[in-house]
Amino acid sequence: MINECSTQFRQAKPKGVLILLSFTLKKRLRDFTLELSGQVGIETIALIGHSGCGKTTLLRLLAGLDTPDEGSISLDDKVLFDSSAQINDPAEVREMGYVLQNYALFPHLSVLDNIAYGIVKLDPAEREKRIQEAVRLLGLQKLLDQMPAKLSGGEQQRVALARALVIRPKLLLLDEPLSALDISIRSRVRTELKQLLKQLAIPTLIVTHDFEDARVLADRIAVMDRGVIIQSGSAEEIAQYPANAFVAQFIGTNLLPAPKMDTRQTWTAFDPWRARVSRLAQDSPYEWKGQIQDISRFGGFARLYLTAEQSWMVDVSIDELDRNRYEPGEWVYTQVDEADSREICSLQQSEQSDSPAESTSVDRKRSGTWKRAVVWSAVMLAVLSTIGTGFYKSRVKQPPGTSLPVFIAANATGPATELFALYKQKHPGVDIEATFAGTQILRTQIEQGAKVDFFLSADLANMQALQDKGVINRYDLVSNSHEVIVVPKENSAAIHSLQDLGSKPVRLVIGVDTVPIGKYTRQIFTNASADYGSNFQGQVLSHVVSYETDVKQVLQKVAATEAQAGIVYNTDVSSTFADKVTEIDIPDAYNVKAANYIAVPTNAPDQKLALDFLNFVQSAEGQAVFRKFGYDTPVQ
């Protein structure tokens, strides 16, 4: 056995390079405190870890979109943040390029206008020079007149990068840059991005859920868990000596208790393709017995998913699989040669708790805040209804060609589109320019100064954050929905209840932790753990094969049978998907009520028209539209 006990938790640092970014940050989050320090040179660092461990929060703190509780940030010898000196430069002057996972392109602007959006105040000659540099670098010359909806995923990514690069950033932040791409082009775009990052030669931080992305793109990989770095190093170092079970699972390495050859607590790491499987014990010094939970075929080999006290994988040839006729449910033995195993003396204890007990008091406080906000909104709506909200009559007259830019959370696409049509019938001269995207993406654009008249958010926390920053003065509850499990019509995994997601081998797809559907899904798992066992959440998350940025992507993967189950809003199972998926109810005791909120930003270009549209959405006519699409509404 290869033994690397003394150096398995190497913390690699840039050697012999100029340090351009330095930071020491502390930020109290809902369930833990993020505490990170780092130094970055001209290199690319990939951040990986559990959903909710603080990866995206770190990017937002560096970019100036969130504020640390204490600490400091310096970039190229300039102090951007220092809590003790009360320095906190705003995001727009930090000289950082930030590319969001869905790229956040403005759908009503051309490629050229999207790229130029962040440098409109520059001298025209300088602006044109920067645009042309970015266009040449990313090969966008033939796309400048195109609209984002006409672009492929790879083209949209290049436009988003160009928009980030024209500001001449000294640091590039990429949040899941490849997650929105189809598998068929992901490998090619990954290679192109790697070449581009080498050309740019600036510090780059990448958040990803995909080890292959991290392996190809990054010079160093940092593994995060609940706000701290538990392991860092090259892809090869991390793959050889995973710090804990999560790291092993993420990189596709097995990690099992080593045979008790001595009194030390040791673990054995080995690759699935280095192991063998048999129905009879082989009296091997490295042998484990487990039950086959699932079998997946990949070209010329098959992967067996086994479990006992731990879970692991073994790859066998298709010929061996067919010859031995292995089936899910039977018990077999796994062996690995000593030369193909690595001994790990102790594991880094993961702080990712499966038990809801630790966060109970925090959750209660949030629940109380949420309830007070809902009650306040309901009272306000009731008062408004007595003075004319229920009977909408516009008092706004606008000249032809008036524009009303609105940002709408993607989950409300259906009702919003119908509301637009109804409102335009009453206001023939109004042109509603709608941007549909994830709530977090829309919030970020608003914080960065996007001019928008009306905002619909699927996340109370985002509205509260915008109100705290003075971006909006108030917000109102407009509709509610809840979550359901969706499975393909054939339901090959035989999923019939929420509990089945933890007890059966199922290819599960859920939202990423930075969007509301992802947050609500994880809260459901936490709620259910009280009855299904403290390890229920961990069991369910171990079955996740894909994290998506919006519910439409979850539905598409389930409908196409790329996944065997997913969790979405009940209101998103439209006629497009109704004949392709089956809904399974989640018990009310565990479910989470998802709310939509509306607001008019304080810098809205047309406050008067925006407030008129908001009143229309809250009116009886507007609320009836939401109910038509399956939502509950405060005004019946």
% of residues, the chain, pLDDT over 90: 37
Q: Apex CA 517: angle with CA 511 and CA 521, to 5°?
A: 80
Is 488 a residue whose pLDDT tops 90? yes
Residue spans in the chain of domains classed CATH 3.40.190.10:
360-480+595-628, 483-592
On the question of pLDDT at 369 being above 80, the answer is no
pLDDT tens per residue, range 558-570: 988 888 999 999 8
pLDDT in tens, 238-269: 888 888 777 887 778 888 888 755 545 678 88
pLDDT value of position 81: 95
The band of 372, judged by pLDDT with boundaries at 50, 70 and 90, is very low
Question: Quick one: pLDDT at residue 447?
Answer: 82
User: Is the pLDDT confidence value at 233 over 60?
Assistant: yes
> What number is the average pLDDT over the span 222-235?
87
Measured from the Cβ of residue 418, the count of other Cβ atoms closer than 10 Å reads: 15
Residue 78's pLDDT is what? 93
Q: What pLDDT, on a 0 to 100 scale, did the predictor assign at position 552?
A: 79
CATH of domain 253-344: 2.40.50.100
User: Which segment of 119-123, 137-141, 316-320, 393-397 scores lowest on mean pLDDT?
Assistant: 393-397
Over residues 352-365, mean pLDDT: 32
Of 55, 59, 63, 53, nearest to 118 by C-alpha is 63
Which distant-in-sequence residues (6+ apart) come within 8 Å of 332 by Cβ?
277, 278, 279, 289, 290, 291, 292, 304, 306, 326
| Range in 3-7, 98-102, 246-250, 291-295 with the lowest mean pLDDT | 3-7
Residue type, 8: Q
CB neighbours (10 Å) of residue 242? 26
426 half-sphere exposure, CB direction, 13 A CA radius: 17
Task: Pick 547 or 407 by higher pLDDT.
Answer: 407
pLDDT of residue 261: 53
Per-residue pLDDT, averaged over 473-500, amounts to 93
The rounded distance, in Å, linking the Cα atoms of 212 and 120 is 37
Distance CA 222, CA 250 (A): 12
> What one-character-per-residue DSSP string does 357-406 give?
GGGHHHHHHHHHHHHHHHHHHHHHHHHHHHTTSSS--------TTEEEEE
461: left (phi over 0), alpha (psi -120 to 50) or beta: alpha
Residue range 483-592, CATH number:
3.40.190.10
Distance spanning both ends of the chain, measured CA to CA: 69
Q: What are the φ and ψ backbone dihedral angles of 552, each rounded to 5 degrees? A: -65, -40
Mean pLDDT for the chain overall: 82
Q: What is the pLDDT of residues 60-77, one digit of tens each?
A: 999 998 999 999 999 988
Task: From 596, 609, 632, 625, select the one nearest 455 (Cα to Cα).
Answer: 596
Residue 15 has pLDDT above 50, yes or no: no
- Chain centroid offset of residue 617 CA: 29
The answer to whether residue 16 scores a pLDDT higher than 60 is no
H helices of 124-278, where? Answer: 124-138, 153-165, 183-200, 211-217, 235-240, 245-251
The residues, ordered by sequence, that sit 6+ positions from 61 with a Cβ below 8 Å of its Cβ are 25, 27, 34, 67, 68, 73
Task: Round to whole Å and give the CA distance between 365 and 291.
Answer: 42
- What's the confidence (pLDDT) of residue 370? 35
pLDDT at position 213 is: 87
The CATH number fitting domain 2-240, selected from 3.40.50.300, 3.30.300.30, 3.40.47.10, 3.40.50.12500: 3.40.50.300
Residue 5, pLDDT above cutoff 50 = no
- Give the residue-averaged pLDDT of 596-604: 93
* pLDDT at position 87: 95
pLDDT for the residue numbered 263: 45
Inform me whether the pLDDT recorded for 532 exceeds 70.
yes
The 10s digit of each residue's pLDDT in 124-162 is 899 999 999 888 888 889 999 999 888 887 788 889 888
Asked if the model's pLDDT at residue 40 lies above 80, the reply is: yes
Q: pLDDT digits over 427-469, tens only?
A: 888 889 888 877 777 888 788 778 899 999 988 888 998 998 8
pLDDT for 445 equals 79
CA 101 to chain centre: 8
Confirm if 39 and 59 have CB atoms less than 8 A apart: no
The torsion defined by the Cα of 106, 110, 112 and 114, in degrees rounded to 10, comes to 0
For the record, the structure tokens of 262 come out as 């001595």
* pLDDT tier, 585 (very low <50, low <70, confident <90, very high otherwise): very high
Q: What is the mean pLDDT of residues 363-387?
A: 34
What tokens were used for 557? Answer: 């993967």
**Is residue 149 classed as helix, strand or coil in its secondary structure?**
helix
| Angle, helices 124-138/153-165, rounded to nearest 10 degrees | 140
**Does 287 score more than 60 pLDDT?**
yes
The helix/strand/coil state of 548 is strand
**Angle separating helix axes 360-386 and 460-468, nearest 10 degrees:** 80
**Residues 331-353, mean pLDDT to the nearest whole number:** 75
CATH for 360-480+595-628? 3.40.190.10
Q: Look at 179-193, 247-261, 406-420 and tell me which has the smallest mean pLDDT.
A: 179-193
pLDDT tens for 382-398 read 333 333 334 465 555 55
Confidence band (pLDDT; 50, 70, 90) for 359? very low
pLDDT at 58 over 90: yes
Ranges in the chain annotated CATH 3.40.50.300: 2-240
Least confident interval from 35-39, 205-209, 343-347, 393-397: 393-397
User: What residue spans in the chain does CATH classification 2.40.50.100 cover?
Assistant: 253-344
Higher pLDDT, 216 or 448: 216
pTM greater than 0.95 (yes/no): no
**pLDDT band per the 50, 70, 90 thresholds, residue 333:** very high
Per-residue pLDDT at 172: 92
Confidence of residue 601 (pLDDT cuts 50, 70, 90): very high
Cα separation, 580 vs 557, in Å, equals 11
Residue 634 pLDDT: 78
